[in-house]
């Protein structure tokens, strides 16, 4: 493998870890996590094998939307620390070989942002055009609010301004007018500021909404929104050639592919694979590999320098909106039958361990898939120890509970009283008494130890990240999912059993001669002929229920 691949396109085989500073570790006992606390826990992430940290919003905020309602795009919320604390964290991460990307949330602001306060004060304000105003809401304007349980309109009347403003999210988050050149220039300045402080790119929030210009200008006078995304990418490349734009684009594959740009990839560097994630959950619910295999065969290829980002759990509700109504009902029935576990009628506010009833075999199967499927694996904090949710928390906050470090009060997250914590700690079987870092760190059989080992093995298999993926047919078992990845004459194979019953798989290895050896890298299996392929290029493998294995194809020994 060429060294330039690793140096220039580091995101291709990165391990991304998403965390919220506020709920990670509290250094001063005020009940909120902070950057000094994150600095104290950075070695946990390094030892786990993380190579890129994605920080959820840490900017000044009234905190009515968990930090996504921002009042200063250049600031650090004083409850979390200072710019100096942030820079110290960036240095510590860099010293350990970890890059840091931050949330770019510029499709809206808080209604307390100085820009909006100035905009509403007068029609002549230079900030008036930063937002989208109408004297009357257009009857044929954009439809579809993001949070249908909270909002029933895209337009909110403002008494001070005497007009309606557009908001696709909450009414306290007015949309920025990205059709305005001044807004575009300001967004570029925001990006430039954080790049100068040392971040390696941005996770771009709700990209389709960021580019949406409907309602902003009169028909016929709208710029091409993808031109703007190309401009952002070009600006990023000029300022920091190795920085990335990781986009949240929850659309069907044909529409999603457009956000990469042309065949060379001149828009987003990476896109989250939402359709693939939803198909994975349908496959897990059914114990049938077909939905996942179909999705990966239909997934368009990313540009040569771009990549898909794969995930099992994100920081929002686990959206299932791209499944059919019947398919979504299947997943709900399997993993979230109680309406309290569901959100917006389209997703689940649970984490995987509780969905699977704590079944360690199924958990490890799901994450083995994450690390072997083509794309950049992205973890949400706490997944490495099997954290669950607290349904007593409102909405999506159920999965954004404090990190569980020890079995002590507050899970070792903070010394503050429970009512002062940034969020309620998980309770019951998945609470800190049973699930925490300290207990698992020294247990070689723990989920944390398994994650550390599987990430180490993933880093030794560049074929999964860089190679060409081929889904293999496995006749005789609908639960079997197998694929190979080829790179520079090297091949690795991964086989997974999504069902609870043991299976035998006749694995096809096109081009393999008799005597070809298969070295086991991870997982467990039984095989005929000591893993030597037969005359027909097939090898027979037996997997336990929810079993998996990773194999490296090795040529025959010289002389047979």
Residues 306/12, Cβ–Cβ less than 8 Å: no
User: What is d(CA 361, CA 497) in angstroms, rounded to the nearest whole number?
Assistant: 11
Residues 109/167, Cβ–Cβ less than 8 Å: no
Buried b (16+ CB within 10 A) or exposed e, 524-547: ebebeeebbbeeeebbebebbbbb
User: What is d(CA 507, CA 473) in angstroms, rounded to the nearest whole number?
Assistant: 8
Helical pair 360-372 and 274-286, crossing angle rounded to 10 deg:
150
User: What is d(CA 208, CA 106) in angstroms, rounded to the nearest whole number?
Assistant: 12
Nearest to 89 by CA among 38, 162, 30, 148: 38
Tokens of 392: 């007593």
List, in order, residues 6 or more apart from 242 with CB less than 8 Å away: 8, 10, 200
Nearest to 248 by CA among 277, 228, 219, 223: 277
- DSSP designation for 53: E
User: What is d(CA 72, CA 117) in angstroms, rounded to the nearest whole number?
Assistant: 13
Tokens of 369: 């898939």
Residues 453/49, Cβ–Cβ less than 8 Å: no
The catalytic site residues sit at 205, 248
Tell me if residue 229 falls in helix, strand or coil: helix
Torsion of CA 190, 194, 197, 202, to 10 degrees: -160
- SS3 string, 104-126, reads ECCCECCCCCHHHHHHHHCCCCC
User: What is d(CA 382, CA 389) in angstroms, rounded to the nearest whole number?
Assistant: 10
Q: Is the dihedral of CA 447, 451, 457, 458 positive or negative?
A: positive
Buried b (16+ CB within 10 A) or exposed e, 127-156: bbbbbbbeeebeeeebeebebeeebeebbb
CA atoms within 13 A on the CB side of 44: 23
In total, the chain counts a number of residues equal to 560
User: What is d(CA 320, CA 314) in angstroms, rounded to the nearest whole number?
Assistant: 12
Give the helix ranges, DSSP H, for 349-506.
352-355, 360-372, 437-441, 447-459, 462-466
Other residues' Cβ atoms within 10 Å of the Cβ of residue 321 = 13
């Amino acid at each position: 493998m060429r060294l330039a691949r690793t140096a220039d396109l580091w995101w291709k085989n990165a391990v991304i870890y998403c965390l919220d500073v506020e709920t990670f570790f509290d250094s001063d006992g005020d009940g909120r996590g902070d950057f000094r606390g994150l600095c104290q826990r950075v070695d946990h992430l390094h030892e786990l094998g993380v190579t890129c940290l994605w920080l959820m919003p840490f900017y000044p905020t009234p905190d009515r939307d968990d930090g996504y309602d921002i009042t200063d795009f250049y600031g650090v919320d004083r409850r979390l620390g200072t710019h100096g604390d942030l820079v110290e964290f960036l240095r510590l991460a860099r010293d350990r070989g970890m890059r840091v990307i931050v949330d770019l949330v510029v499709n809206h602001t808080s209604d307390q942002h100085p820009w909006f306060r100035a905009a509403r004060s007068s029609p002549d304000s230079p900030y008036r055009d930063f937002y989208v105003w109408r004297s009357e809401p257009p009857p044929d304007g954009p439809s579809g609010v993001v949070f249908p349980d909270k909002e029933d309109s895209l337009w909110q009347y403002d008494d001070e301004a005497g007009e309606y403003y557009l908001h696709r999210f909450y009414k306290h988050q007015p949309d920025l007018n990205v059709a305005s050149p001044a807004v575009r220039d300001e967004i570029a300045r925001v990006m430039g500021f954080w790049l100068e402080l040392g971040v390696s790119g941005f996770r771009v929030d709700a990209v389709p909404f960021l580019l949406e210009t409907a309602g902003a200008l009169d028909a016929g006078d709208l710029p091409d929104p993808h031109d703007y995304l190309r401009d952002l990418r070009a600006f990023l490349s000029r300022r920091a050639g190795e920085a990335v734009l990781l986009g949240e684009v929850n659309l069907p594959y044909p529409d999603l592919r457009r956000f990469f740009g042309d065949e060379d990839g001149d828009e987003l560097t990476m896109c989250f694979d939402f359709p693939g994630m939803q198909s994975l959950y349908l496959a897990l619910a059914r114990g049938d590999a077909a939905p996942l295999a179909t999705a990966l065969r239909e997934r368009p290829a990313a540009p040569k320098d771009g990549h898909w980002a794969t995930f099992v759990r994100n920081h929002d509700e686990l959206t299932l909106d791209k499944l059919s109504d019947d398919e979504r009902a299947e997943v709900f029935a399997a993993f979230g039958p109680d309406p309290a576990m569901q959100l917006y009628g389209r997703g689940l506010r649970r984490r995987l361990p509780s969905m699977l009833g704590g079944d360690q075999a199924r958990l490890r199967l799901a994450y083995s898939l994450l690390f072997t499927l083509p794309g950049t694996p992205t973890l949400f904090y706490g997944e490495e120890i099997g954290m669950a949710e607290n349904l007593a928390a409102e909405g999506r906050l159920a999965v954004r509970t404090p990190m569980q470090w020890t079995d002590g009060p507050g899970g070792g997250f903070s010394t503050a009283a429970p009512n002062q914590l940034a969020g309620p700690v998980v309770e019951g079987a998945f609470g800190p008494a049973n699930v925490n870092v300290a207990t698992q760190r020294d247990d070689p059989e723990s989920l944390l130890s398994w994650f550390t080992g599987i990430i180490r093995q993933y880093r030794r298999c560049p074929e999964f990240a860089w190679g060409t993926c081929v889904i293999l047919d496995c006749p005789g078992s609908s639960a079997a999912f197998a694929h190979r990845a080829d790179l520079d004459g090297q091949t690795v194979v991964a086989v997974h059993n999504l069902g609870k019953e043991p299976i035998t798989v006749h694995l096809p290895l096109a081009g393999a001669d008799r005597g070809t050896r298969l070295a086991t890298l991870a997982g467990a299996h039984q095989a005929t002929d000591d893993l030597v392929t037969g005359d027909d290029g097939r090898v027979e493998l037996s997997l336990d229920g929810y079993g998996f294995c990773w194999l490296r194809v090795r040529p025959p020994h010289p002389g047979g």
